[in-house]
Amino acid sequence: MRPQVVAHRGSSHDTAEHTLAAYEKAVAVGADGLECDVRLTADGHLVCVHDRDLRRTAATKGVVSTMNLAELDELDFASWKNPWAELDDEAPETDPEAGRVLTLRRLLEMVADHDRRIEVAIETKHPTRYGGLVERRLVELLADFGWTGADSPARVMSFSFNAVSRVRRLAPDIPVVMLVDKAHHWPVLRPLVADDWIIGPDMKELHAHPGLGRHLVKAGREIHVWVVNSEADLDLCLALGVTAVISDRPAHILELLGR
């Protein structure tokens, strides 16, 4: 069985990350799942934003946790990806709404309304001033959709062991992923993580430290890898038997798998 292809922040190679347009494109090309990062606004909304501040994606020094959703909604989260679009007569027309800040609720509504099963890998970002409130609000939101059971299309990921443990306490049936960005972290984590936790190693670390992949396979761990963008990346993932590849280029990875 081929691995699940999950769109990293949407089809983020081609379209501004974490925008509705990026996720709509990922679904259109056939991605099996969507990955997003979430942060909590000052007025308690979960939004799909990777960085703590907005300099890279919205050209402002504002910090997500100090801003209300209404303030974020006034910003442009898309034009940084193609800053010359206004000068290009052949550039396709874009919907300004598709480039605004995306709430997690809106993303989940899009997934729920689709006519095929699409899974969602949700990463909670830490450290944050709101601590465990992020996971609590996330589980409450998933409960609104009826997605806290073993058949949930959602799974929760984090680099924070405490965050993953918190989700497991709040909703024991939701699949969880312990993200690993350094190979030397795994020996420390190995005795702590439960057997049914999925492990999410960094693709770069798998290339640089082949022993990491071998140890995970030997331990019988389910593996979800980020970020898988090339044929060489995919070949290594297939050799390890990973069950999900998270990619900025889901269409490209699906094409490679189709060959």
CATH number of the domain enclosing 135 = 3.20.20.190
Neighbour count for residue 232 (Cβ, 10 Å): 11
The answer to whether 50 is a known catalytic residue is yes
Residue 82: the pLDDT is: 72
Residue 168 in domain: yes
Residues 229, 168: Cα–Cα separation, whole Å: 30
Can you read off the two tokens belonging to residue 144?
């609104």
- Answer yes or no: is 106 within a domain: yes
Rounded distance between C-alpha atoms, residue 45 and residue 140, angstroms = 12
Q: Count structural domains, the chain.
A: 1
Q: Is 209 left (phi over 0), alpha (psi -120 to 50) or beta?
A: beta
In a domain, 232, yes or no: yes
Note whether residue 164 is domain-resident: yes
Tell me which of 8, 13, 18, 224 is the catalytic residue.
Answer: 8
Per-residue pLDDT of the chain (259 residues; tens, 9 = 90+): 899 999 999 999 999 999 999 999 999 999 999 999 999 999 999 999 999 999 999 999 999 999 999 999 999 999 888 765 554 556 556 666 768 999 999 999 999 999 999 999 999 999 999 999 999 999 999 999 999 999 999 999 999 999 999 999 999 999 999 999 999 999 999 999 999 999 999 999 999 999 999 999 999 999 999 999 999 999 999 999 999 999 999 999 999 999 8
State residue 27 phi and psi, 5-degree precision.
-65, -40
45 with 131: CB under 8 angstroms? no
* Residue appearing with tokens 């309304």: 113
User: Which H or E element spans position 150?
Assistant: none
Residue 147 lies in a domain: yes
Catalytic residue among 13, 45, 50, 207: 50
Locus of tokens 């910003």: 75
The neighbour count for residue 192, using CB atoms within 10 Å, is 11
Q: Is residue 122 part of a domain?
A: yes
Confidence at residue 210, expressed as pLDDT on a 0 to 100 scale: 97
In-domain check, residue 71? no
Given this model, what pLDDT does residue 50 score? 98
Q: CB of 180 within 8 A of CB of 208?
A: no
Task: State the maximum Cα–Cα separation within the chain, in Å, rounded to a whole number.
Answer: 58
Q: Which domain holds residue 30?
A: 4-53+102-258
Collapse the DSSP code of 225 into the 3-class scheme (helix H, G, I; strand E, B; otherwise coil) and give the result.
Answer: strand
Identify the helix (H) or strand (E) that includes residue 106: helix 104-113
Residue 241 lies in a domain: yes
Active site residue 8: yes
